[in-house]
Amino acid sequence: MPTDSNPAQPSIVEVKDMDFAYGSKTALHGINLEVERKRVTALIGPSGCGKSTLLRCINRMNDRVTGARIAKGEVRVKGKNIHDADVDLTQLRKQVGMVFQKSNPFPKTIYENVAYGLRVHGEKDGEVIHEAVERALTQAALWDELKDRLQAHALGLSGGQQQRLCIARAIATQPDVLLMDEPCSALDPIATLKIEELIHQLARDYTVIIVTHNMQQAVRVSDYTAFLHLGKLIEFGETERMFDRPKEKLTESYLRGTFS
Amino acid sequence: MVDTPAPIERPPLRDLILRKGKRTIVGADPQGLIRGFFAANSSVTIIVLALIMIFLLKEGAGFLGTYKHELEIYRRAGLEFCDIVDRPLSEQQELSSKLRRAVTTSVDPIIQGVRARRDAAFLLKREVEEQTKLAREPLAAALEKEPAPAATELDPLRQQVAAATQQAAAKMNVPDVFTADEAKRLRDEFAKLTPEVSDLPPMLMELSAAFTVKDKEAKQKFGPLVDASDELEEAPEELRGVLDELKEEVLATKEAATTHFTLEEGRQKLLKAASKAKDPQEKEDLIKEADASKTDEPNYEESIKPVLERREELIGKVVAYAAAADAAAVNLPKEGGTAEATQLLTEVRAALPLHAKALRDGVESLRTWKQDKPVSIFTVIGAFFFGTSWLTNSSWQDFFGFVPLLVGSVVIALIAIVIATPLSVAAAIYTNQFASDREKEIIKPVIEFIQAIPSVVLGFIGISLVGDLIKEISEVPWLGWLPGFPIQERLNMFNAGCLLALMAVPTMFSLAEDALNNVPQAYIDASDALGATKLQTVFRVIVPAGLSGIAAAILLGLGRVIGETMVVLLVAGNRIAIPDFSGGPGVIFQPAHTLTGIIAQELGEVSRGSAHWQALFMVGIVLFVISLAVNGCARAVVRRFELPKA
Ligand SMILES: Nc1ncnc2c1ncn2[C@@H]1O[C@H](COP(=O)(O)OP(=O)(O)OP(=O)(O)O)[C@@H](O)[C@H]1O
Ligand SMILES: [Mg+2]
């Protein structure tokens, strides 16, 4: 499989020769993927090809699904196999945050939503929490909009604001990696644009892995793109290069939209 | 942020096209028929509800008028006048009985020994007589015969008695309050018992005498206490004398009035029938019959005169009695013979001045009381909604104050909810979040099965099992510090509350579990992805998100509990009085009556249309309103905190 990641930069997430199965059904076959630090990596591919599954392997969100397991290979975050016995799931999720397709703020105040991650990780100091909330909201480009109504109910925000609030919530604990599963699919174009801008800025501090169905979005936001098909990683490389000169026939036909 | 484009209106043309060529059934279109069918069904429910409300209101509405009329008679006949004194005076009996108890508990320790000996001896005598009954009866019968039978006839009977008595006396189980010598003497004396001699055996005489001496001695020792008790007992005698005479007088007036109105009602019915009758002969008969039952309403002014003439006399007696009560408080010794007696004395000493004051306060009312003061409708409404006594079938006056019933219902419901809420909510959280599938399969049906137990069976359990259990637990010595322990009544509000809690648990559990189930999975995902543990997710996200549903579950449980009848009727103790809250939380172990219980108990026995009947309907209306309010609250809570659909 052709890849062109930069070997000089150490990868923060490494998927090595991984097979993943839901019970007897193998959803991912022999995935090899190295995600570069502080870059945006997009996962694209037709529906059902395993993008979400792959994304969820990285923070072990699949653990809950009965029968779901890594059948072969391993996933490493910051060099550490995340399935090692001494890995603490809480710590892993502190390092790897996640934003979902449909915005899902808690039915609490804006402030409490952002503070939630800190609170569950045992932070008691109000000062520290307050700083973290302000920083997260600022990074999520929400601070100016919301600073006067932090105690308002989160469910009163617009869809786009809610999704950015979820991003703020995910980055409040300062993870290394931020996973996003089609974060804009439920938003209108203008809200989508805002989020895309946000992703650009987030890439300064975080490593972002984003699943998207929108080719333009992949081009706009990502540095690297991985194309999956039927549970296999077909091609992985710099976005610009891949969209200009895909190496694989399959990639080309998918990008052209002449895919059957 | 961004306005979503307004929905484009569908071109009417499209509708026209769609409607073309539709089939019809007997001129109506089938869609309409189906819609109509469902609409009709739901409207039936609404109509039935409306009918129930109208019926309740119709029956209850007459109550205010009827009760007003009764209260008018109560005033005009002068019963109200007597109650000004009678009400506060009734407390005297309770105070007196407390003093008597103080005397008994003081004297008891001193006379206990001799009394036990005397009683034991008498008991033994009775046992011997019981055992020899078969032999004694023929002899006793023979002795009564006239003329007296010959000695030859009596002798064999006498011998039989002697033999049986000797045997019984020898077998006698003499308790160890007697020494061995005394026991022997008792046996010897009792062996000679015969129906021919009615004198007590000497030993019994001695024991009785010893008791009398000791009793006198003890009474002397507590002389001031005994005197005070006697004084308080006798103090109101003169007052009572006057009051009883007055009461008799006014009661006669009231009865005359009641009779008059009953006859009058019948007469009106006859006249109405007469006006409708077609046959002139029948009409005439009816009118004649009506005329025959014509009576005059008693002349209240005349009949109250003899009562009011004695007004000053009564006031004098009240003042004298109040002074006596005050004096009794001062003269009351500080200490009784036991701690209990001292406690009783303290209580009485504190209560007496208040008692005297209440009576003295009445004097002013006695002076200003007027029989022709009109009874306003607000007085009647107040007498129902704030009346503190529900008194029916009384020979004096019926009162329909529903506060005691309301308090009973509310306290029992609160007890039930306080018990049921933690049980059902905890069970719901466990089942919904932590239980394995196997556990769920056990827990859910078991809890839901409780609903299938008929409430009368639960009442049965309350009477036979829970009551005894609570009573026994309350008598465990080291639990004595708990408020209300040891309890007096097996059937009480707490007992009823426990069973109602059991009845409310299935409803509350199912609803709370639904509420937790309805918490969107997305919240749980988000919490998990942030690294929260299972417990954190449950208590920081799921439970708070389901809280409105849980609150609604609690409120609906409350509605269920307030409306429940059978259990409270059987188990709550049915005492119609406002429980005494002065003892603190121990009040929950007192018996009470309830809104539902009173209807179930009394509706079958009252005559249709009477004030009592209508009062019960009023209670029904209040109950109905409470249930509506509780359900409304539950709906409001759910609507207020509704979660967006996942
Ligand atoms: N919980 C599950 N249990 C069993 N099979 C699953 C489960 N989740 C996903 N799958 C299967 O795994 C495969 C990959 O699914 P996945 O959701 O990762 O696809 P995707 O690329 O994210 O698709 P989409 O673009 O539609 O979101 C699919 O065939 C799907 O049916
Ligand atoms: Mg997906």
- Domain boundary (B165, B193, B222) is at B222
The fraction of chain B above a pLDDT of 90, given in percent, is 22
Residue B458 sits in the same domain as residue B553: yes
Task: Examine the pLDDT at B2 and tell me if it is beyond 50.
Answer: no
CA–CA dist A227, A242 (Å, integer):
10
Count of domains forming chain B: 3
pLDDT digits (tens, 9 = 90+) for B80-126: 888 888 888 888 888 888 888 888 888 888 888 888 888 888 888 88
Residue B113 sits in the same domain as residue B150: yes
Which range of residues forms the domain containing residue B573?
Answer: 403-640
Residues 507-526 of B with CB under 8 A from A: 520, 522-523, 525-526
- Tell me if A22 CB under 6 Å of ligand 1: yes
Residue ranges per structural domain of chain A = 11-255
Residue B201 sits in the same domain as residue B106: yes
Task: Examine the pLDDT at B407 and tell me if it is beyond 50.
Answer: yes
Task: Examine the pLDDT at B1 and tell me if it is beyond 70.
Answer: no
CATH fold for the domain made of A11-255 = Rossmann fold (3.40.50)
- Domain boundary (B222, B248, B280) is at B222
pLDDT value, residue B176: 83
Task: With respect to residue B407, please indicate whether it lies within any of the assigned structural domains.
Answer: yes
**A166 to chain B: which residues are within 8 Å by CB?**
526
Nearest C-alpha to atom 12 of ligand 1 is from which residue?
A27
Task: With respect to residue B384, please indicate whether it lies within any of the assigned structural domains.
Answer: no
pLDDT value, residue B308: 85
pLDDT value, residue B10: 54
CATH code assigned at B567: 1.10.3720.10
- How many other CB atoms are there within 10 angstroms of residue B550's CB atom? 24
pLDDT value, residue B124: 87
Task: Examine the pLDDT at B4 and tell me if it is beyond 90.
Answer: no
Both tokens assigned to B454 = 């008929």
In this prediction the pTM is 0.77
Task: Examine the pLDDT at B3 and tell me if it is beyond 80.
Answer: no
Read off the pLDDT of each residue in A131-145 and give the average, rounded to a whole number: 91
Residues whose CB falls within 8 Å of the CB of residue B82, separated by 6 or more in sequence, listed in order:
B243, B246, B247, B250
Q: Is A170 on the interface with B (CB under 8 A)?
A: yes
Residue B428 sits in the same domain as residue B332: no
Read off the pLDDT of each residue in A232-247 and give the average, rounded to a whole number: 91
pLDDT digits (tens, 9 = 90+) for B427-443: 999 999 999 889 999 99
Sheet containing A207-211: which strands, arranged edge to edge? A80-81, A68-77, A11-22, A25-36, A232-238, A224-229, A40-44, A207-211, A177-181, A96-99
Task: With respect to residue B598, please indicate whether it lies within any of the assigned structural domains.
Answer: yes
Residue B117 sits in the same domain as residue B213: yes
Task: With respect to residue B549, please indicate whether it lies within any of the assigned structural domains.
Answer: yes
Q: Which of B1, B522, B531 sits opposite A102 (nearest CB)?
A: B522
pLDDT band at B477 (very low <50, low <70, confident <90, very high): confident
Task: With respect to residue B522, please indicate whether it lies within any of the assigned structural domains.
Answer: yes
| Residue A144 burial (C-beta neighbours within 10 Å; 0-12, 13-18, 19+) | exposed
pLDDT band at B494 (very low <50, low <70, confident <90, very high): very high
pLDDT digits (tens, 9 = 90+) for A142-165: 899 888 999 998 988 988 899 999
Residue B439 sits in the same domain as residue B363: no
pLDDT value, residue B297: 81
Task: With respect to residue B449, please indicate whether it lies within any of the assigned structural domains.
Answer: yes
Residue B327 sits in the same domain as residue B243: yes
pLDDT value, residue B277: 81
Q: Is B531 on the interface with A (CB under 8 A)?
A: yes
The fraction of chain B above a pLDDT of 70, given in percent, is 95
Residue B147 sits in the same domain as residue B212: yes
Task: With respect to residue B392, please indicate whether it lies within any of the assigned structural domains.
Answer: no
Looking at per-residue pLDDT, the higher value among A118 and A9 belongs to A118
Residue B614 sits in the same domain as residue B474: yes
DSSP strand pairing (A177-181 vs A11-22): unpaired
pLDDT digits (tens, 9 = 90+) for B154-201: 788 888 888 888 888 888 888 888 888 888 888 888 888 787 777 888
Q: Is A90 on the interface with B (CB under 8 A)?
A: yes
Query: End-to-end distance of chain B based on CA atoms, in angstroms?
Result: 22
**Do the Cβ atoms of A242 and A219 come closer than 8 Å?**
no
Task: Examine the pLDDT at B508 and tell me if it is beyond 80.
Answer: yes
CA–CA dist A137, A144 (Å, integer):
9
B430, B434, B528 from B535: Cα distances, Å:
11, 9, 11
pLDDT band at B512 (very low <50, low <70, confident <90, very high): very high
What is the average pLDDT score of chain B? 86
pLDDT value, residue B527: 94
Task: Examine the pLDDT at A134 and tell me if it is beyond 90.
Answer: yes
pLDDT value, residue B646: 38
